[in-house]
Every structure is written in structure tokens, then in C-alpha cells.
Structure 1
Amino acid sequence: MTAAAQRIRCHFTQPGGSRLMARRFGRFRLAACIAATAVVVASCGQAHGATETGSQVKQGGDLVYLDAEVTASMQIQVSYWQNSLVKDQLLDRLVYQDPETFEFVPWIARSWTVDEPGTTYQFVIRDGVTYSDGTPLDAASVKRNIEWLAEGDKPKGIPRNAWFPKVTAVDTDAAARTVTVHLAEPNAPFLAALSMNTAGLVADATIDASKEDQSVVTNLIGSGPFVAESEIPNKEIRLVKRRGYDWAPATANHQGEAYLDSVTVVPIEEDSIRVGALRSGESDALRYTQPPDEALLQKEGFTVLGLRTPGLANVLDVRQTADFVDDVNVRKAVMYGIDRDQIVSTLYSDNWKPANSIITEGALGWKDRSDEVRFDPDEANRRLDASGWTTRNADGIREKDGRQLELSLYIDVYDHTSKPLYELVQRQLRAVGISLQLRQTDFANYPKATADPKLSLRRNGWPTADTFRLTQNYDSDQGDLFQLEGNDPYLDGLLRSQVTETDRTKRIALIEQIQDHVIDNAYTIPLLLDTQIFAVAPHIHDFRNAANSVPWFYDTWTEHK
């Protein structure tokens, strides 16, 4: 038995360990001990205020969702992908990014205006909204949230929101229910920043809490359609319907309360256990399966969704401080030595596609750069020969001045398909004489391990509300993930200009130039379009996702009550 399975087995059998030990749906019984496909179940909820569409009652029932990762600190400004699903259920935002059109539409802000310079935003706040503790979400609360997000809380060690521009003032008019935000300079991604769960609106009690208390999910007092009722750390988070909720985004599929009585989020890191739980009927949905399991689940009647929302492509960032990769010919050889079509056809399903740029189709300013993002082993070999890597050792690895052409990469702990992916890339690069050394670590140590300046390559790429993420990642005054250390002022200029340029056409041109410059210099190596895989049981309906790909359970309903 694996360590993950052992932990889950213990979770089931500890007295009083989990509410998931209770009866689920009145027809599934949880065994005291479950073998290789150990699974969990949720307690049954009573349907309240049921509504009907045709013959189907949507209100009521419970959903168990299995995630591939354990949540981390829930403090609002902390941005962890694995926290996004939970935060999205609890926290409303001023504006909503529609997951179909990706346009920004009203939510807690009924409307907004922006002045011509792009430095003053006025929001009209929806009337009658309350947090789950009963306090009003009014103009004064929005003002306090924005100031807190813009400034952080230094005495508590809480950082400012990394997406927020410099805010010079926030004014309110209680009678008109308006909040006016004044920026130091134009900021094109400001609405995007306000739409993210890292800008989720919270009650004063949450803002007033200590950093440690803010990190606990049950202390996130939001105005969303669900409330965090309980948490067993590293084992489950139980969310329950917010009674009286009636302020969904303008483009939501319904208004009023969520349909589900509860959602229980259970982290199970082992793929086979998540799949076994879904197949056995003890869970209702999951994130991440290995590609071979996608076909199996579809054959058995489950819905498998491969979501590719706009954002950054799945890439390998090249760290200029590592050995050998300060040579553009070496970087280009890596670019040309990878056969992306073979990767998809060998390892993945039709839900996956090769990348052809550093951002994905649908992202603002996306440009097809398949002219450079291509498999061309002859050009890879020519480039390496030109840089003096003309000798190969007995293993076929190129050598120069007594040193092997060896690069390094950690297996990505956030992508359950990364090990076979990188092993295939390793074989492909070996064919052109590059040795790729694969390293492994765990979740806790991955951030520190991958910050090593001598690490050649590091995986990057996620769905994102705006291409501002490029600036966060690569501006030498911000993430500097290429480790250029200010030695490419042209790139820094482009990255900064795309943030302050509010003319859409001009901004698109800047984003295209960023893609061209990064790809022409092979600062990063595009691999795949970032894809999030979900599998859903047949009795679950209207399983929808937010614009950041994570599920949003507001519209979801179950046949099982």
C-alpha cells in the first residue's frame, strides 16, 4: 500500500475522524477499511426549498469532490492554485470574468466607469448584500477591502495583493453606494485583478484577524454561495450552502441560492485512488486523472472535461544563471529538439494540444509562433555544432572543454502527468546530444528547490485572467524567472508598457512583441496548452467552471438527494 493510501485508510478508521464516515445518499455504505481504491463519502443533506425544472428537483443533495492537491494557507493574498476551488465558492468579487466569453461583467459592483486617462474607477455597489456573519457588504466594506489589498498589513506580515497597482486614494459615497478608486498610473489589468479570488471580498472580522487565523478556511467570512463549515486539516473541507444568497453574477445560469446543500473537498494525491473512488460511486467528481484513465471513465459513462482556459502555456522557463543556457544556440536546440506532437500522441488524449506560443489561444494578444516552436532536430544539431559542441561521448552526449552538455529540471509536483512528460523530453533531447537530468522533491520543498539559480529549466504556465502574469513572472524587478537580472532592458520595457497601456489595440501589439522577443531568444520553451482534467459522475449536472478553470459549484445539482 502506498503512503497516500495508508493515510486515507487511517482517516476512515480513526474514531470521529471525519464527517465523511457518515451515510451518503442513503444508499452507499462506507466500509470500515477499504483496499487499493480507498474512498470517502459525504453525509446526506436535507433538501430545502426545492425547485423544479421539468421533472427534476435541483435543490438539495451533497457532492464529494476529490482534488489532487492539499490546500495551503487560505490567507486571501496568498495565491496557491490548489486553494482556488475553495476560495471561489466562498468569496464574491466586485467583477466577474465570464467563463464563456471571458469578458468582465457585474457582480458585487452593479456597474463601473473609468475615466479617460484610465486612473479613476468608480464602482456602484449592489444593495442588500451581506457577508455570512450578517454584516453588510456595502461601500465602506469595499473601500476597506481595496485598501487592505492594495497595502497589505505589515504589522501582521500580510503582503499586498501582487496584482494590485498603486492606489493613491479610495473615496465612498454611502448614499449613492459608490466607491471611487484612484490609481497612480493607468493599469490595464485592474479589472482582471478585481475578478480573481485573491481579491475576494471579506468581512471586517477576517481583515481584523491575525495572519494565522486568516490562513484557516473557516475564518474566511465572505459573501459567496457557500460557507466553510468545518475543516480537518489535510483531509477534508466541508462547505455548506449560504442560506439567502441572492446576488450571483449577471451572467450566472440562475439567481438565488446554490442548489447543492454541501460540497466536501477531499485531497487525495494518488491518482488511482481518486479514480477508484469515482468509479465506485463514493465520490462525485475529481480533478486530474492520468490520460489512460480518461478513456476508461468515458467508456463507463462519466463525463471527462479537458479545459483549456486562456492564460500562459505550459512552458519550461530557461534560467540564464545556469550552466550553458546563456548561449542562445543551446536554448534554441532545446526548443527544436522537442517533438510536441509525439508527446501528445504518445502520452496524452485528445483533450491535450501542443503549445505554439508562451500564451494560449484566447488570451489577449495571442500569436501563433509555430514557425519557431517546432520540432527540427537538424536545426538543433546545427546550432549546437555552431557553438562548439561537436564531440559526443560514448553515451551520445555532446562535450566541450571536457564538460558534458547537461541541463537540469525538477519533476513538477503540481502536474500529475509531468514525470512521463519529462522522461520523454529527456529521451528526445538525448537524441540531439543534450543530457537532461531529472530531479524529484516533494510539495513542501519544491518551491525552494526550484529557486536554485543553477537549475536550468523550471516548469511554468497556468490559466490567468490577464497577461499581466507575464510581467509578474519575467520583469527583472518582479519575478525575473529567466534570471536575466536586468540585462534585457528591451524585454523589461515591453513587459512594463503592456501593464500601463489601456488602448486595447496598442496593448495587443505589445503582447505580440513580448511573445516574439521571448520565443526568438528561446527564453522559455513552450510545451503544451495548459489543460485541467475533470471527471464527473452521470448523476451530477451543470458542473461548471470559473474562468480560471476550477469548478464553481453554484449552478451544479445532483439527482441524488
Structure 2
Amino acid sequence: MSQPHVRIVRKNRRPVWVVVGIAAVAAVILGIVFLPRLLGGGPAGASAASVDSAGQTPQSGGTLTYLDAEVIASASIQNGTWQSTALTHNITDRLVFANPDTGELEPWLAESWDISEDGLEYVFRIRDGVTFSNGQELDAGAVQRNIEFQAFGNPDLGVVPNTTYPIVDTVTSDETERTVTVRLVEPFSPYIKILSNWASSLVADETLALSAEELQQATNVIGTGPFVVESEVYGEEIVLVRRDDYAWAPAGSENQGAAYLEKIIWIPVLEDSTRLGSLRAGEGDLIRYVQPSEEDALAADGFQVLGLQGTGQTNTWILKQQIPALRDVRVRQAISAAIDRDQIIDDLYTDNWTTASSLVTEDAFGFTDQSDKLEFDRDRADALLDEAGWTERDAEGYRVKDGERLHIKTVIDVFDATSAPLFQLIAWQLQQVGIELELTEVDYANVSTAYADPEVGVLRTGWPQADPWVTIRNAFDTEKTNTLALPETDEVLNDLLNRQTTVDGDERAEILAELQDYLIDNAYAFPILTDTQVFALQPHVRGFEWTPEARPVFHNTWIAED
């Protein structure tokens, strides 16, 4: 294969910090199995959701230095990026625990719950003896106020509701019975699962009283979790210290008391080479994001290399119909057919990565295999473009129609360390059928502005989520966000998107199968690969665990002495 010749535009304007509100959490119906996949073998003894330390006695104390690849721009529990939600998982707890080993939804701060036959009423019994890190008791009233905060937000303080939440009618509590009753306006089958995820984390009244701006500060998030934010130097370092009185881990946790680690130093290191060099120099104990080319060398040198595929959306490209050429289904279908996903994996990735077979991962509820519709077929792509009237070519070989080149603009994903070569290879593949894909490179500070550019025709999406269908509904519904930029309402799409959350079991699965067919047949969006979170750990790190969505959790992590 010759070197890709593609156009890359770099935009490094003066940073204008904005809150990136990515609703990266959704839900699945109760009892559905969702397991993070450990790929590439992993270290000996690694289980579904932890680095095994069987036969070893955990050692208490010590400091773990975690070098992440991205800055935590906002610590708000409702709106955040992947890295901020990982932080949330370590400083807060939730009513429901999603067990990453079994896939079951288990009681946690809610000892139990009952759901009415019509699916409109939920009664939660709240665990006794739990406190927030500021000393406030977690009683039924505190849970009620948290659910109201999630459902309704706080307009006076600029706080918006949790976009993955159902439409709530009323919330009441009974302190004597330690119960909280939630009444919904309409059935919402993913609700229990939503309560297990980061956006439904419980926080103290002191946090609930803050403005949207104040909620972005990590030191202001007061939870019941095993760690507390001791300090934050924005963009440079967050220091977590353990709660010595923590005693309400999920029932299946081997450690029912305080965390083993005394302290975690959480540092964003954006440059791949610097992050890797720091690990090799012993300046970091754990890093996230390792370039595929570095994985084997790290493993050969004794580091633990983990490739974790979490439940959720796959690495999906959406085609925005604000670009006139993309309103033609034949052009959209041609783009999908021109992309050789196998070549992408073979040329750029390792065994820790796989091609995607649908818009969601295989362990997500409702997944149907769409791989036969995603096969690489350059001849079909050429035929579709010819049929759509793009028959002429300019001097550079790009297709032309009515004097206009078939030119599409995209933004290289800043939230994926492997995205630059991925986008460049896809641009080369599209060039082979006469499509010019312009790649725009931006930094974290300007990504929201770049995504909102009305000239952008293709965007990458996809986040680890327990039930991605709620987020897909919010994004694709033409009456909501309309991320697809459809020029007019698509009643069929909207019906499928919204009906699937009101039913459960086989009925929901049937709707989701129809939804996947509809989105991919119309080439509204199509998957490329299944995202992998690649972590590299020092040999002395033990008990490292992760959520079903592959977010790191440190309650059981410990440092082995040399």
C-alpha cells in the first residue's frame, strides 16, 4: 500500500475552555449480561474484570501514580468525558452495582428494590450506616434529593437534568422505612441499569447546592466512595486519598473495608512518548492509552499490558446530512462500502482490537450482527457513486458533479490516541473511489467548536456505556439532538428510537434489531472497530479492576513491595 496522501488542516487557536457534555451513560434491562472483554491474552491469571492477585496478601499503604492521556476538563457527575467519569467511579458510589464478572445488577446502596407491574413505580430500600466524606448520613432523604437532582436538574443554578434519565413524575421518601419511591411518567426499561452508572452517582447536599460551574471542580464532588479528592491543580494533577472509614463496598468485593492504597496521584500526560517514557522510567505506576506499536515491546519488558473492550457503542462514524452530497443514500452507502475494516486492523492495530459488527458491542443488549452489510466492496462503492451522478473526475482523481468536487470534511477525534493514523488510512481508502476526506486536527480546548462546524460531514462517536441505546436515542432523534443533521423529521427512526425504551425483554430486542437494520441500511451511521482501552501497569501493581465499561477502579488495587 502506498503512503496515504490526504489533506490535514490543523487548528491551534487560543484555547477557549468549554464543558464537553457527553452523555456517555445508558442502560440495559435487568439481568442482561454485559462483560468487559480482556483481549490479547493479558497478564497471567487476569480475570474478566481484574488483575488477579490470588494467593497473595494485599498490602495496605503506598501511592499509585496514574498517568492518563487526557485532561479532566470537568468533574461534573452528569456531564463529562471518559476520563472524568473514571474519576467519578472512584470517589462516589451508586444505588445499584453492575458486577463486571457476572453481568448481574446487584444491590449496593439500595439494599433492594421493587418495580410495579406497569413499570411506572420503583421503591428502593436504602442501606444503613453509609456516610458521605463530609460526615453527612446517606438517608432516604439524601437519596430523594439526588434523584430529583438527576431528574430535574437545578435551573436556578444552571444545572441541567441527566439526559439518560427517564421522565420522572414524583419522588418521595420515608425515613422510618428507609425507602425512596420514584414514579415515572411512562415505562423506562433501562432505569435500573442507569442507576449503576457514573451519571447516577450519589453526592452530598453540599455538592447538590452548587452551581453548574462549581460542580466542574473535582474538590467539590463529595461522595460516599473509597477515595476523596484532596487537591486539584487544574490540568496538572488531582490527588485522591483513601477514606479510612469506608465500609460499604459491593457484597462481592474481596475488600469490604478501606482501600489498600493510601493515595492516588492522577496526572494527565497528553504526549504519548512522554507518558510511555515516564512509565519506563518508573515515574508512573499505570498509564492509559498505549499506541498499538508499543504493546508488544512493553509486554516483553515485563509490564502488564491490558486491552479492555467495554460494553457500549462501537467506534462509529455518523454521516451528517447538513452536507448536500450526504443526503443521497447512495453516497452514504458508497462511503461505507469503500472502507476496508480488515485492512485497518491489520495495518494499524494488534490483537487487542477487532472490527465492529454493529453500532454496539456484541455484549450489549439487543446486538445483531450486521457484518454482512459492512463488507469492503470497492466496485460496489464505485457503482453507487456513478449511479448518484458523480461520474466525472478532476485532475487529482476526485469525483466531480456540477463543477463541485466530492469533498467531505471531518475532525480527527481527540478522545482516541490512535485516531490520527485511523483517519488518515480511511481518507486514503476513500480517495481510491474518488472521495476527498479533509481531516481537521484540533486540540481539546476547541473540539466542541470544531464538531459544531456546519461544514463537517463526518464525525466519529462511540463511548463505553452499559446500554448505548439511550444515548443513541438522544443523539439521533430528529426531535432531540439530531446529530445526524437530517433535514426533515424521520418518523420511522424516531419511533424506533423512542419505543425501545418503553418495553423490555424480547419485545425490546426485536425493536433494536429493526433499529440497527434501519440505521445501517440507510447508512445514517456505520461502525469501524470496537474501541479498546489499553492500560500498561508496572509489575508491582496488583488488584487493578475495571467496570463493565472498562473504566478503572482502585478500591482493591495495591502495590507489592519489591
Give yes or no for TM over 0.5: yes
Q: CA deviation at 1:103?
A: 2.6
CA contact (8 A) 2:411 2:451 kept: yes
Q: Give the distance between the partners of 2:81 and 2:190, measured in 1 at CA.
A: 20
Q: Give the distance between the partners of 2:539 and 2:487, measured in 1 at CA.
A: 52
Q: Give the distance between the partners of 1:150 and 1:560, measured in 2 at CA.
A: 46
Which structure's relative contact order is higher, taking Cα pairs within 8 Å and 6+ residues apart?
2
Q: CA deviation at 1:244?
A: 1.1
CA contact (8 A) 1:61 1:558 kept: yes
Quote the residue 2:527 is aligned against.
526
Gaps of 5+ in 1: 1-51
* Mapping for residues 166-181 of structure 1, pairs under 5 Å: 166-181=167-182
Q: Which amino acid aligns with 2:259?
A: A
Local SS of the residue matching 1:432? coil
Local SS of the residue matching 2:326? coil
Residue deviations 1:447-500 (CA, integer Å, cap 9, x gap): 121122321100100111212111011111222111125431101000000111
CA contact (8 A) 2:69 2:289 kept: yes
Q: Give the distance between the partners of 1:194 and 1:325, measured in 2 at CA.
A: 38
Quote the residue 1:481 is aligned against.
483
CA contact (8 A) 2:322 2:487 kept: no
CA contact (8 A) 1:94 1:195 kept: yes
CA contact (8 A) 2:484 2:524 kept: yes
CA contact (8 A) 2:157 2:210 kept: no
Q: Which amino acid aligns with 1:487?
A: T
Q: Which amino acid aligns with 1:186?
A: P
Q: Give the distance between the partners of 2:116 and 2:340, measured in 1 at CA.
A: 48
Q: Which amino acid aligns with 1:539?
A: H
* Mapping for residues 255-266 of structure 1, pairs under 5 Å: 255-266=256-267
* Mapping for residues 536-555 of structure 1, pairs under 5 Å: 536-555=537-556
Q: Give the distance between the partners of 1:400 and 1:53, measured in 2 at CA.
A: 65
Residues 442 and 57 of structure 1: CA distance in aligned 2, closer, same or farther (over 3 Å): closer
Q: Give the distance between the partners of 2:130 and 2:192, measured in 1 at CA.
A: 20
Q: CA deviation at 1:375?
A: 0.4
Aligned identity (percent) is 45
Residue deviations 1:228-275 (CA, integer Å, cap 9, x gap): 111111111000111111111123233111111111100000001111
Q: Give the distance between the partners of 1:57 and 1:430, measured in 2 at CA.
A: 55
Residue deviations 1:18-72 (CA, integer Å, cap 9, x gap): xxxxxxxxxxxxxxxxxxxxxxxxxxxxxxxxxx986634211110000011001
* Mapping for residues 351-362 of structure 1, pairs under 5 Å: 351-362=352-363
Q: Give the distance between the partners of 2:168 and 2:355, measured in 1 at CA.
A: 40
Q: CA deviation at 1:89?
A: 0.5
Query: TM-score of the superposition, structure 2-length normalised?
Result: 0.88
How many residue pairs get aligned? The number is 509
Quote the residue 1:490 is aligned against.
492
Q: Give the distance between the partners of 1:490 and 1:210, measured in 2 at CA.
A: 39
Local SS of the residue matching 1:444? helix
Quote the residue 2:285 is aligned against.
284
Quote the residue 1:454 is aligned against.
455
CA contact (8 A) 1:323 1:454 kept: no
Q: CA deviation at 1:394?
A: 2.3
Residues 55 and 534 of structure 1: CA distance in aligned 2, closer, same or farther (over 3 Å): closer
Quote the residue 2:436 is aligned against.
435
1:332 aligns with 2:371: no
Local SS of the residue matching 1:456? strand
Q: Give the distance between the partners of 1:362 and 1:189, measured in 2 at CA.
A: 15
Quote the residue 1:380 is aligned against.
381
Local SS of the residue matching 1:516? helix
Q: Which amino acid aligns with 1:472?
A: N
Question: Which sits farther off after the overlay, 245-254 or 368-377?
Answer: 245-254
Quote the residue 1:197 is aligned against.
198
Q: Give the distance between the partners of 1:359 and 1:57, measured in 2 at CA.
A: 37
Q: Which has the larger radius of gyration?
A: 1
1:154 aligns with 2:155: yes
Q: Give the distance between the partners of 1:392 and 1:485, measured in 2 at CA.
A: 28
Q: Which amino acid aligns with 1:483?
A: A
Q: Which amino acid aligns with 2:379?
A: D
Q: Give the distance between the partners of 2:481 and 2:437, measured in 1 at CA.
A: 24
Local SS of the residue matching 2:456? coil
Q: Which amino acid aligns with 1:422?
A: F
Residues 325 and 57 of structure 1: CA distance in aligned 2, closer, same or farther (over 3 Å): closer
Residues 321 and 210 of structure 1: CA distance in aligned 2, closer, same or farther (over 3 Å): closer
Local SS of the residue matching 2:125? strand
Q: Which amino acid aligns with 1:303?
A: Q
Q: CA deviation at 1:555?
A: 1.1
Quote the residue 1:97 is aligned against.
98
Residues 286 and 486 of structure 1: CA distance in aligned 2, closer, same or farther (over 3 Å): same
Q: Which amino acid aligns with 1:105?
A: E
CA contact (8 A) 1:315 1:460 kept: yes
Q: Give the distance between the partners of 1:352 and 1:443, measured in 2 at CA.
A: 25
Quote the residue 1:8 is aligned against.
none
Residue deviations 1:191-210 (CA, integer Å, cap 9, x gap): 12211211111111111233
Q: Which amino acid aligns with 2:323?
A: A
Q: Give the distance between the partners of 1:450 and 1:144, measured in 2 at CA.
A: 35
Q: Give the distance between the partners of 2:331 and 2:152, measured in 1 at CA.
A: 42
Local SS of the residue matching 1:381? helix
Quote the residue 2:245 is aligned against.
244
Quote the residue 1:82 is aligned against.
83
Q: CA deviation at 1:130?
A: 0.5
CA contact (8 A) 1:105 1:251 kept: no
Query: TM-score of the superposition, structure 1-length normalised?
Result: 0.89
Residue deviations 1:159-193 (CA, integer Å, cap 9, x gap): 11111112111122212211111111101121122
Residue deviations 1:345-390 (CA, integer Å, cap 9, x gap): 1011110011111111100011111111110101101111111111
Q: CA deviation at 1:395?
A: 1.7
CA contact (8 A) 2:309 2:549 kept: no
Q: CA deviation at 1:516?
A: 0.4
Q: CA deviation at 1:440?
A: 1.3
CA contact (8 A) 1:254 1:555 kept: yes
CA contact (8 A) 1:358 1:526 kept: yes
Quote the residue 1:38 is aligned against.
none
CA contact (8 A) 2:357 2:369 kept: yes
CA contact (8 A) 1:323 1:456 kept: no
